[in-house]
Amino acid sequence: QKEVEQDPGPLSVPEGAIVSLNCTYSNSAFQYFMWYRQYSRKGPELLMYTYSSGNKEDGRFTAQVDKSSKYISLFIRDSQPSDSATYLCATANTGGFKTIFGAGTRLFVKA
């Protein structure tokens, strides 16, 4: 079993839709949770990070962490074609130095 599981997709939605991206993780010791966006042939770009459980909002993006079910989510409101990319969830241990990534979900937003 992988430490972080993420559906690779692809996920295709029309412009303006609400997108829900999800990951599960196995180690209850994980304390930090991140979402990265990666465009083709580029390095990952940090979107948001949260510590422990709860919600965090930044513009059109909302990250949710439910530690009781080991489930993390990213919601994108009013999706745009420019949001088309691979979205990577990631977790880190208490020390934070070892970041473990999911496989990434490919998202396509159609104009």
Q: Which segment (10-18, 58-66, 72-80, 87-95) binds other proteins by CB under 8 A?
A: 87-95
E-strand spans in 1-111?
4-6, 11-14, 19-25, 32-38, 45-51, 54-58, 61-66, 71-76, 85-92, 99-101, 105-110
> What is the contact mask toward other proteins in residues 16 to 35, using x (rule: CB under 8 A)?
----------------x-x-
Regarding 11 and contact with other proteins (CB under 8 A), the answer is: no
Give the tokens for residue 48.
Answer: 């948001």
**Shortest reach from residue 51's CB to other proteins, in Å:** 8
Residue 14 makes contact with other proteins by CB under 8 A: no
